Structure 1
């Protein structure tokens, strides 16, 4: 049984679900909590995944504890009905932690995709860092995306015999999605794509995403002001900013951008549109975790508006740079990449450490090894 609730989770479990469906000796049960709604459904539709159960837990203004309570109670009813042999969760959301606890309390083995990510700060990202650590304590099979993630788990006294390094399935999905023919719902992006396909048809393009809970408030206002500063500084720069639905994000980030002709503010994009947009841009400015993995696969430098990251491999590889959320620092770091060919090339041509596009197959092999006596797969990178 695979349980997930948000778009980032869906993006990473989708290729795993499809691989399970192809396996002769595995039966797939799909459960969604609906922690995200439209964005989650878009990914399921893209992959042709029809959930067997949908908890549809979200309601306006509910607390983190309210979400977790609904997940645990809702998942518990489905576990009692379906009696799965194992439960798969992915990542670090409230859905992940709640579903893992529900499975553990019924003594059903938990399989954790993207296990072992750590920032080292229990309060940042919040609540994701705590969700990851709590889930690791009750997991039977840890599927780590990198050797660094595996080392984090071993450092926490988790047996190497319970860990397989699979690579990250986000690369499987990214490579699939970038091959799709995409018609943008926003005509401005459609025009940008057409201009990109014409030599000299458009200048440089910056993609901005911002949504993290710890960046709400003054930090988000700094982000909005920095983006406005960049728009005024570079006439030839087009900035694409798909704005999160959270009203606190919009209230802080959007006012400085009003009336700027080279800033394209859009609604959140469907995943296929977002990956196509990634392929069109030159630089990515983000506070997202998943984008830190995706963009380097397409050769895009990533500037991360956070003070720490649970994905240090990309920082060490040089594909990602942590820059915080201070307005002046954001402007300076983006300007460096726009003004210096050497600085840009150093990030654009660094090697992405996150995957090779077959993490889903390794995941199925690991499940068969751990629970059905199959051969242990070789770790990614070995």
Structure 2
């Protein structure tokens, strides 16, 4: 499926509601919505133990450049921690909303040093209307352009040069995403952003970030400490971007005024990443993005079993179901960003040419 704007008419509202109701009934009867408490408690215990071992290794290694390896390990483990926090935020772990909220606070704020409230607000808007221009914060215009609909003027000079090559620069820029995620969260909880439990978040994030920085700069020389933080934050951001980008970037964009039913909105705007158990582990189950968007509260380890049910249902109802392997999905993202970047250089560019570029 190419990165074009959805413009086809959708079926009558009654039929749309009926379609998803039928799929939902099948999924409920399959038992895949049942909680996986043993799985999640085991995962939490394993990650806690691995973080403890990494902390011990950090202290024992001391001021050595081998600590950069430790930084890389920390980046991967914190990525896995955030997947666990993501599942808790989607009410996948416990039946109780309160238990899920507090799990997210502990996992995201105290373990990873990120604001759960900031992320939940942003991520909820994405789930409600993925790839809808002006609504989905994940395609909002910033350093990168994901579309040109709200571009008031062509990008020129150095900014224009970078934008025209933004696809190739995407992964290098992700090295800054880890720092950006922390800064955005801190600005929100100490500012006026929507945060449900602001005092708790402030305490947890302050303890986590303050303690972490104090330990790093106490144990390592200043230069080595900055190198450690650079590697850890850089790889953490790269990891997060490499997991979340393939799921929606390069998929159809929804105009601000287009109405589309829930089933088709979630399926048509999402892309699955094919692969085995390693891909499931690497992406925290988010490679089954279509299924996750349709049933966000389903435990992530059940999504693989849900996939054939959703694929068959989509085939029967002639709803396109997009899949690609990991490398193919990265290629789609890079080509889409480059196509958008090239379109941004000339406001009089032929729309047919831009569409052909997007389809390559």
TM-score of the pair, normalised by structure 1: 0.26
Tell me which of the two structures has the higher relative contact order, counting C-alpha pairs closer than 8 angstroms and 6 or more residues apart.
2
TM-score of the pair, normalised by structure 2: 0.27
